[in-house]
Structure formats: C-alpha cells, structure tokens
Structure 1
Amino acid sequence: MKLKIAAFIILLAFQNIFPQSLLRTFEIGNNKKTTTFESENPASNSINDILVVGDTIWLGTSRGLSQSTDNGTSWKNYYNTSEFGTESVTALLYAGGVIFASTAHSVEKDGTSFPEGSGLRFSSDNGITWQAVSQPLDEPGDSSVRYGNNVLRALPVTVAVQNIIYDFAFAGNKIWIAAFAGGLRSVSFDSLTNNTKAKWSRTILPPDYLSSLKPSDSLSFTLQPVAGKFGKEEYLNYRLFSLVAINDSTLYAGTANGINKTTNAFLPADSLRWEKFNHQNQDNPISGNFVVALGFNTYYKTVFAASWKANDQNEFYAVSYSKDGGVNWNTTLLGEKPHNFASYSSSTIITTDNGPFLNEIRSSLNSWLNTGSIIDKKTGLALQTSVFYSAAFSNNGLTAWVGSEDGLVKNEMPYSNWSDDWKIFYASQPLQRKDDSYAFPNPFSPKMEKVKIKYNTGGASKKVTIRIFDFGMNYLRTVIQNVDRGNPAHVINASNADGINGVLDYWDGKDDSGSVVPNGVYFYRVEIQGQELQFGKIMVIQ
C-alpha cells in the first residue's frame, strides 16, 4: 500500500509548506515550458511511496513527485508544474524503462472530504517529459462484463471520487492498478505507452462468498463494491488497495476481503483464474482481511501482507507472510499496523505506526529490530514521529530510505542493520529575511504533534533561547535555554546567498509544569546571540 489508510477512506493532507528552493525553468517537447523546484529537501514531509531506480530516488508525496539523482544532496520537485499541478502522488512504478506515478486530490462533498483520483503520469526519459492518463472510468452503459461463458451485471464506476489508484504492478506485459472502488484494472503496457486513451479492462474477482474463480464456472452475481442500482449486493473483494507481482505471470491483489492470486496474468481479463486467501477460508490464514499493502522478498521467496483487522472480531492487526504461495500463512509483528514493505537480498523493512522494523536475524522472519529514536547524525535533530508509510533500499542495499508522515530519513547501513548514521530531510517554507521566523503547522494540536519553530542564525553557531508566552505575554515555558544552534546543530537549510539558513526547534504545547496549555493564541520569542529578538504567534487547537 502506497498511501496512508484510515478505515476505507483516505483523506489527503495538503500542508501549506514550500521547500527552500531554486526555481528552474527549462524547455521540453513542442517548446512547452515546465517549471520545477530544485531544493535541498523534497517538497513534502508526508512520503507516500519511495522508488529507487539505479542512482535515482523517486518520492511520491502529498505535494507531488520529487526526484534525486545525487543520493539526496539535491531534489527536483515537480509540485506546481504543468504536468502535476498540485496533485498528491499516491503510488509509483518502474517498468519497461518507464516511470509511472498515480495522482489524486481531496474534494469536499456535503462538508466531508473524500479522495478523488486524477489518473496517472508516465515518463520514458527519466522525468524530463511526461504524459498524462485520465482516471480510468466506465461509461454509464458499461453495465455488464464477460467472464468465460458468463455475462455478469456490473455497476459502472463513472466518477473519480473514491476511485483512486493506491497501487501499481507490472505482470503479463500489463500495467495493473488497484483503484479502491474502481476495482482491479489492467491495460497492455504497449497500448498505454503509445496511446494515453487506451482502454482499461475491468477484472472479475471472486465475490465475498467464493474462494476461487475460473472461466468455466457458472456464475450469477453483480460486480459492485457497494450496493447500487443493481441491488443490495456489495462486495468487499471489489475494494482494491494493494498489488504485488512476483514474476511475469503471478500477481497478488489485496482487498478489503483478503488476498487474490492469479498465476496467468498474461491472459485476457475474462480468462483469468483466481484463488482467494482470507482469515475465514484457510487453516493457517492471514491475520485480517483488510490488506493495505503487499510485498515480496525474492531471497526468501516470501509474500508479505499488511493484514489489518476488518469485520470479523477474530481478526487482528499484524504482518502475514507465506513461503508456499499462499497455501499457509504465518503472522509476525502482532498488533502493529503495517503500511508497506521494502526488500533487498535477505533484508526486509516493514513500515508501521510504531516505526520501521528490519528483520534482525537473516534466517528468521520473527525477529525484528525497530529503529528507536531517529536523530540526524550531523545536526542532532530528532524526528518527532513514529508513523512511517514507505521504504526502499538503494541498489547495493547499503542505504535505506524511509518515508514518514513528517519527514524523509536516510540510513547508511554498512552491515545490513540500522546504524546511527541518519539523515533527516524536512520540507519547509524558506525564511525571507535574516530576522525572519515562523511556526508550523499553525494552528496545531498538542495531542497529535509538536509545533516546529524555524529561525535563522546566519549560518553560524550561536547560543539560542526560546520561550513561550500566553496572549497576555505571561511566561509559560522555556523550550531551550542558551544552547548551541546552527552550523550544524538543528540546521535543516544551509545558508543561502544572503546568509540565511534554517534552524528548527520544537514545542510540545506544554507549560513549565508539564500541563498542556488550553486552546488559544500564544507567542514564542527566539533570543539569538548577537541578533535582534524574533517573535511569532502559535495557535493551539485541540
């Protein structure tokens, strides 16, 4: 799964932040100008997906696509370009020399925010030019689907709301997408890359009450993820979230009703055979039917599933894995909420709400090592979240890239274990003046996060004190007092041509007694050695 999930709906967060960056304009085909941001950080702190291809690192984030070709020293950010606009990137795929990125945004419906898919973009020249593909939709008259000798009624998916590409796979020379209410769809790789309007095929999977499906079956059910105009039937197995292809013919698809497997992905959609694995239909089953992510470790020949608790009270959150093609499943990391997988040789990273885990003993998948606190080796800055969504290894397996809900981190792993060599990347709005400072996110809730206070030390190491006051300027808290900051302590942006850098500290929303302050407006004061006092406002909302 390439995007954070809560229940069956994902709300895409677009934070009002911009990277410390250099605007760059260049020309592409047909003299069309595209603008990207070159920055020392990615465009967003919410990292949905990570993909490493050769020496290129790709990030799918809440603020679009980011790319680095120098091991993270600099980033090209595609946010606000003509191709990507202000879309989030939900999933990434590299296949046949082409990079694919799915996009989405949120829309308001009757006061509630819903995800809406906006299709995908692909590039065959490493991101220089892009082609756009609209979100796959059905025509209103697409009310039937052929499967074997059966003609099944099908509810047309005619809108992009709740029809969002959460994952990609490449198998059978096809691009496959898991599109939630849009279901499982595929299109020929050659057809799509030569024609952005190529027709996507809808895939027939077993309804919730069946454990397998083959073209010779006599079937009578309606293909629909929710009850609709064709009746009260609604099938959780038609709500698609995750995919993994383990070879050219074998594909696994994760839904809200378990895991579906085909071994003949090269066949047309109406000829595919499927078997389904879930918590109810096996002796050694997956932990839960809500499968938000799938992965595969080639060294162990093992399929991993982020198997969350769905409807059955006997289900539970865990990682499920199978070494025999899904016949039997084991569980590990019981009680954790896993989000994604990354593998290199015998190493596997699992990202969860409680941090990333790495298998500690290479011969076992039951012993996992958490990172603990992540502290930037150079700056001493500590990551303030434990929720991680994505991960990838470098091509030699000696570097791990891990994406969280609040920053990207890089770990140098010379012995294939977590080391203390961490680098933290933070996206933030650049400071405009030497006496500039600001707090973000603002407003903030102390129950959910810490507020970041960003300021400038002019590229030098200086003594810094930060204090918090209430609206009446009554003293509440000393955040730090007379500590060294800048060059390099807590630096997230190196000095620019005007001598302005970016230094970061945190306030947890508490006063000196350890009590969380009530809702309201507060002031921070930054005292920097040899500089004028810097003030700013912080709004607390709980």
Structure 2
Amino acid sequence: MRISFIVVALLLLGSSVHAQVIGPIDSNFDSFRQNGVSTIESTGDTLWISPALNTYVDGFTDSWIAPEGLDSIYNGVGRVFSLDVNGDTVVAGLGYTASTAVGNQPAGYGYYLSTDGGDSWQFSDFYLDRYVDEDTTFIYGGTEYIRERVIVPEQSPPYSVAFKGDVIFSANWASGLLRSTDFGASWERIVLPPFGTSLLTPERNDYEWFDCIETSNGVCTQSQNVYNSVQDDNLKGFAVFIDSKDRVWFGSAGGINISENALSAPTDSVIWKNINFKNEADGLLSRWIIEIDEDPTTGRVWMTNWIAESSSSIYAGLDNYGIVFTEDGGLTFGQRLIGEQIFGISFKDNYVFAAGANGLFISRDGGDSWYKSPRIVSENNILKPSVQFQSVAATNDKIWVATTDGIISSDNYGDTWQIHRVNFPLSGGNVYDDEAATVSSYAYPNPYSPEQHDIVRIRFEVKDQNNVRVRIFDFGMNLVRDIENGSRSPGNYEAIWDGLDGRGRRVANGPYFYIIEMGSRKVTGKILLIE
C-alpha cells in the first residue's frame, strides 16, 4: 500500500464518480498481480494475498513483495485459492482452471508451504488415488466400507486450508476433507458423516452414504451405499477451521461438522457431530457453510450460510443467506445479516467485519448490531460501483478487505479508508512485465464493456503544473464526453469514463478516442467499446 489516501466523502456519490480524473496515483514498479483479490490472510503486521502470494508488511515497506521460488504460480497455472498463516508459517492451497469436455472446471493443484515467512518454499502435490477402475475400501470403527476413488483433480480445488503444528487440513469440493500429519509430506482422506446423519462415531457399524446410480428427470431413483464425495452433500467441502480449543470445524454442502479429536485421531476413529439446516430460530440459516472463523475477543465461532435447498427439498424456499455464530460448540446459533450473501468474516478488537456481495458490513459490539459501510472512496482513488467485497483480515494496526476491484485498508475501524490497486507505470511496466514499452498513456480494460466492467480508466502523466482537459470522441470525432477541464499538479492520474455521453446516454459499440490536453502537450489513444 504505497500511497496513503484520505477519505473525503462517505456518502453515495452521483454520476461524478463515473466521469472524473483521480490522482495523483502511485506508479511503483512493485505491485500485486491483479485487482480482483479473493483471499487474504494476516499474521502480526504482515498481509498475504491471492492469487500470487504477494505480501505487504505494514509500517515496514511501501511496496508489495513477490516471493521467489514459486514456479507453479509465476511460471505455471497454479493460483492461490486458500491461505492460512501463523507467524512465519504459511500454507497456501493452489488450484487452477482445467479445460474439460463439459467446459472449464476449477481443479486442485497442490500446496505451497513455508516455515520461514516465505524465504523458502516446499511444494506438496495434490492428493489423488491411483488410477484404477474399481472402487476401493476403507475401515471406520472396525467396519469395511466401499469408497469411490478420486483420480482427477477437477472440481477439487482447496477452497480452505487450516493447520496447527505439522497437521494440515484441506477442504475440497469433490475430494472432501484431506489431512496431512507431516506438514504436507503425505496426505490421507478423513471420513465424514453421511448427509443427514448427526453423529459419526466408531462405535457404530451401519453407516450409509448416498451414491446415486440411476436418475429420472433429474431425480435420483436408485442409490447405493458407496462413500462418494461427488454425490453425498456432506462430503463436499467449502471450509475448514481449527478453533482455540483444538476443535476442527468442517463446512460442507451438508451443514457444519465439528470434531473434538480430528487433529490427532487415526482416520478410522475420528468422531464428528453434524448440524444441518432445520429452519429453526436458533439454528443455521442454510446448510452451505462457506467460511468459518473465531472471534478472539468473544470466543464466538462465526460461519457464513448460503442458500442451497433444491425445489424438491422439504425446506425449499426456507433457507437464507447470512451469517451465524455459536458460543456453545454448535448447540445453538445466533443469526445475523439475514438475506446478505457474505464471503468473508474477520475481527479486530471488538469489531466484526463481514465482506459481501452487497457491501461491507461492520459491527462495533462483537456482532450484536450491524451497519453497512457507506460507499468507499478516497481522495485519490475510487472503487467501481459494482464492486464486491470478498475477504477480510486484520493486521496489528489495520483492517484489510479484498475486493473485486483492489484492496482497501483502514487504521480506524472503517471510518476512513485507503484504496490500493495494481500499479502498471507508464514507463517500464511492473514486476510482472518488466519489459513493457514506455507509453504516454493507456486505457484499461481495453476492449471495454460498460456492462461487464462499469468503468474504463485512462492513465496519463502530468509533467508540469498545467490545465488538463480530457475528452472522449466517437469514430467521426464528434465530442461524446468532456471529463475534465481543470488545473493539475505534476504526477500520474487516471481519467474515469462510464461509457455514457454528456447527456447520460449509453453510447453505441465501436471505437472511441480520448484526447488529453496539458498546455501545449497533447496525448491521444483509442478505446474499443463492446457490449
């Protein structure tokens, strides 16, 4: 976070947000990789972010650090899907987008592990069964059961990782819950309760998992007792968390699963309690559990709930988005932010922050009451109107929020914010493209879709104090929009255009030209607008 910004307005802004010049803005060579950031984690004063494991040490540097030795990310297809950090230990779950016969699918790639704060890394391959046509077996509680092999990484990205000591857990959709007890040297599959079963214990020997083998009109008409994480909803993993009492929490498509002994018990005797959605006032809001975290101040364990019930379910239309917390290990739940799709939760002192599709929500009293943060702007930057808030983390002095349009931070619990976005200087590019040509200006994204991108940004440099005028013209060089006409000091700036003309009408598809006049100096460029 290279420039400190001061929020000058916290009110919803009108059309001036979409057509204006912002700056001066930073032009450092070191930058994080992309503005769309889905996962962030913190430890002490250090922040780690996806998708390229960049770090920022608050108060120590003004630049983002790109760790070395990460060939699977920088020279391969791997991207960070999940993170857990504690002190100098970092566990990153990697996935990638696989091209399949049915289209692109998220897939598991492996794990990067570090015990020295990222100075060195070891890579752990994603765990798959041997490629054999037949199913295999496993033992639980002295009873042998049949399990379908997982032989491909598709649909198994590590959506969440958690560790304590040498024990690592990984929550994956089609691979369920994986565990390593030797810090990634080897992995094993952890047995989970069948969907709708409240207790998995080795004292019982008659468990039945759901594996559909025949359907009619989209409804299963015949099933068999095979442990298949692609079929049984409670085996499909979204989130895993280890709380301060060493309980392991596994969030699935079948509710929340809690274990008192999963950290150390053999795979044939891990005991789980499952809590599912039952439309109760002191229960879950729904059965898809996407993220889990614990408030260190209050001890509450929080989790996000997403709508999941199909039209054939007895609970169809009764589940809801929101977040819940429990203070008694899952016996009862408090429901909050009902109706809001929340992606991430974090805590600082007695504040709780919830990042969602519809905004950033803040509680000053441990989660009992909430307010939605007004539109987040700064003196030198803005977020696009359709921004979504994805993940939250707290360093020693700041709260950080990852968004689809950059990262924001606050050192006063959200009263004011700094906005941090990818830097790509006009001269020499950045750390990810250090051979980029020097240009006088550029527009991004380009081609530009107002519906998809909201706004297009035009970066340029003012070399001397001067009057700056920025205008947009169509192919016939007819004036479309006059964005700026005022005095600017030396520095780098960005002109913002929302694809509207001067009367607020959406312009047609085609090429558009920008002309930036700065005294006797003129800079021009082209934007291709496509809906």
State TM-score, norm by structure 2: 0.82
Shift of 1:343: 1.4
The answer to whether structure 1 residue 374 and structure 2 residue 361 are counterparts is no
- Runs of 5+ consecutive residues of structure 2 not aligned to the other structure: 1-25, 216-221, 310-315, 428-436
Residue 317 to residue 453, structure 1, CA distance change in 2 (3 Å): same
Give the letter aligned to residue 430 of structure 1: P
1:153 aligned residue (143, 146, 151): 146
Give the letter aligned to residue 233 of structure 2: L
Residue 486 to residue 92, structure 1, CA distance change in 2 (3 Å): farther
Residue 171 to residue 435, structure 1, CA distance change in 2 (3 Å): closer
The answer to whether structure 1 residue 130 and structure 2 residue 130 are counterparts is no
Report if aligned partners of 1:171, 1:250 keep a CA contact under 8 Å in 2. Answer: no
Aligned residue for 1:447, secondary structure, equals helix
Give the letter aligned to residue 209 of structure 1: G
**Offset from partner CA, 1:221-274 (integer Å, 9 cap, x none):** 347699999959721111101122113530111111111111112212221111
Worse-superposed segment, 148-157 or 426-435? 426-435
What corresponds to 2:426 in structure 1? 431
Shift of 1:513: 2.4
What corresponds to 1:352 in structure 2? 356
Please give the alpha-carbon distance, in whole angstroms, between the structure 2 residues aligned to 1:410 and 1:262.
35
**Offset from partner CA, 1:7-27 (integer Å, 9 cap, x none):** xxxxxxxxxxxx9664xxxxx
The answer to whether structure 1 residue 449 and structure 2 residue 453 are counterparts is yes
The answer to whether structure 1 residue 470 and structure 2 residue 468 are counterparts is no
Q: Relative contact order (alpha carbons < 8 A, sep ≥ 6): 1 or 2 greater?
A: 2
Residue 471 to residue 59, structure 1, CA distance change in 2 (3 Å): same
Report if aligned partners of 2:386, 2:454 keep a CA contact under 8 Å in 1. Answer: no
Please give the alpha-carbon distance, in whole angstroms, between the structure 1 residues aligned to 2:213 and 2:489.
55
What corresponds to 1:522 in structure 2? 512
Please give the alpha-carbon distance, in whole angstroms, between the structure 2 residues aligned to 1:430 and 1:79.
22
Shift of 1:100: 1.2
Identity, % of aligned pairs?
Answer: 26
Give the letter aligned to residue 139 of structure 2: R
State TM-score, norm by structure 1: 0.81
The answer to whether structure 1 residue 117 and structure 2 residue 108 are counterparts is yes
The answer to whether structure 1 residue 332 and structure 2 residue 336 are counterparts is yes
Residue 166 to residue 506, structure 1, CA distance change in 2 (3 Å): same
The answer to whether structure 1 residue 258 and structure 2 residue 255 are counterparts is yes
The answer to whether structure 1 residue 47 and structure 2 residue 49 are counterparts is no
Please give the alpha-carbon distance, in whole angstroms, between the structure 2 residues aligned to 1:226 and 1:139.
22
Please give the alpha-carbon distance, in whole angstroms, between the structure 1 residues aligned to 2:190 and 2:255.
16
Give the letter aligned to residue 357 of structure 1: F
Residue 366 to residue 44, structure 1, CA distance change in 2 (3 Å): same
1:27-38 equivalences under 5 Å are none
2:63 aligned residue (56, 74, 80): 74
Please give the alpha-carbon distance, in whole angstroms, between the structure 2 residues aligned to 1:521 and 1:286.
51
Report if aligned partners of 1:437, 1:536 keep a CA contact under 8 Å in 2. Answer: no
Please give the alpha-carbon distance, in whole angstroms, between the structure 1 residues aligned to 2:493 and 2:239.
39
Report if aligned partners of 2:448, 2:527 keep a CA contact under 8 Å in 1. Answer: no
Please give the alpha-carbon distance, in whole angstroms, between the structure 2 residues aligned to 1:296 and 1:326.
13
Please give the alpha-carbon distance, in whole angstroms, between the structure 1 residues aligned to 2:530 and 2:371.
36
Aligned residue for 2:521, secondary structure, equals coil
What corresponds to 1:212 in structure 2? 199
Report if aligned partners of 1:49, 1:390 keep a CA contact under 8 Å in 2. Answer: yes
Report if aligned partners of 2:456, 2:497 keep a CA contact under 8 Å in 1. Answer: yes
Aligned residue for 2:440, secondary structure, equals coil
What corresponds to 1:482 in structure 2? 485
2:80 aligned residue (80, 89, 107): 89
Shift of 1:349: 1.0
Aligned residue for 2:486, secondary structure, equals strand
Give the letter aligned to residue 159 of structure 2: Y
What corresponds to 1:177 in structure 2? 170
Shift of 1:482: 0.9
The answer to whether structure 1 residue 419 and structure 2 residue 423 are counterparts is no
What corresponds to 1:299 in structure 2? 297
Please give the alpha-carbon distance, in whole angstroms, between the structure 2 residues aligned to 1:539 and 1:332.
42
Shift of 1:209: 2.7
Please give the alpha-carbon distance, in whole angstroms, between the structure 2 residues aligned to 1:79 and 1:106.
23
The answer to whether structure 1 residue 144 and structure 2 residue 137 are counterparts is yes
Report if aligned partners of 1:155, 1:224 keep a CA contact under 8 Å in 2. Answer: no
Residue 371 to residue 320, structure 1, CA distance change in 2 (3 Å): same
Shift of 1:314: 0.7
Please give the alpha-carbon distance, in whole angstroms, between the structure 1 residues aligned to 2:410 and 2:270.
42
Residue 200 to residue 349, structure 1, CA distance change in 2 (3 Å): same
Considering only aligned residues, what root-mean-square deviation do their CA atoms show, in Å? Answer: 2.8
What corresponds to 2:218 in structure 1? none
Residue 513 to residue 123, structure 1, CA distance change in 2 (3 Å): same
Please give the alpha-carbon distance, in whole angstroms, between the structure 1 residues aligned to 2:131 and 2:478.
63
Give the letter aligned to residue 164 of structure 1: P
Residue 437 to residue 204, structure 1, CA distance change in 2 (3 Å): same
Aligned residue for 1:448, secondary structure, equals helix
Please give the alpha-carbon distance, in whole angstroms, between the structure 2 residues aligned to 1:227 and 1:299.
50
Report if aligned partners of 2:469, 2:486 keep a CA contact under 8 Å in 1. Answer: yes
Aligned residue for 1:48, secondary structure, equals coil
Please give the alpha-carbon distance, in whole angstroms, between the structure 1 residues aligned to 2:499 and 2:386.
16
1:268 aligned residue (241, 266, 285): 266
Give the letter aligned to residue 274 of structure 2: K
Please give the alpha-carbon distance, in whole angstroms, between the structure 2 residues aligned to 1:227 and 1:317.
32
Residue 509 to residue 308, structure 1, CA distance change in 2 (3 Å): same
Please give the alpha-carbon distance, in whole angstroms, between the structure 2 residues aligned to 1:461 and 1:349.
41
Give the letter aligned to residue 306 of structure 1: T
Shift of 1:279: 1.2
Please give the alpha-carbon distance, in whole angstroms, between the structure 1 residues aligned to 2:526 and 2:489.
20
Shift of 1:303: 1.3
Report if aligned partners of 1:225, 1:238 keep a CA contact under 8 Å in 2. Answer: no
Report if aligned partners of 1:152, 1:222 keep a CA contact under 8 Å in 2. Answer: no
Shift of 1:55: 2.7
- Runs of 5+ consecutive residues of structure 1 not aligned to the other structure: 1-18, 23-38, 488-500
What corresponds to 1:11 in structure 2? none
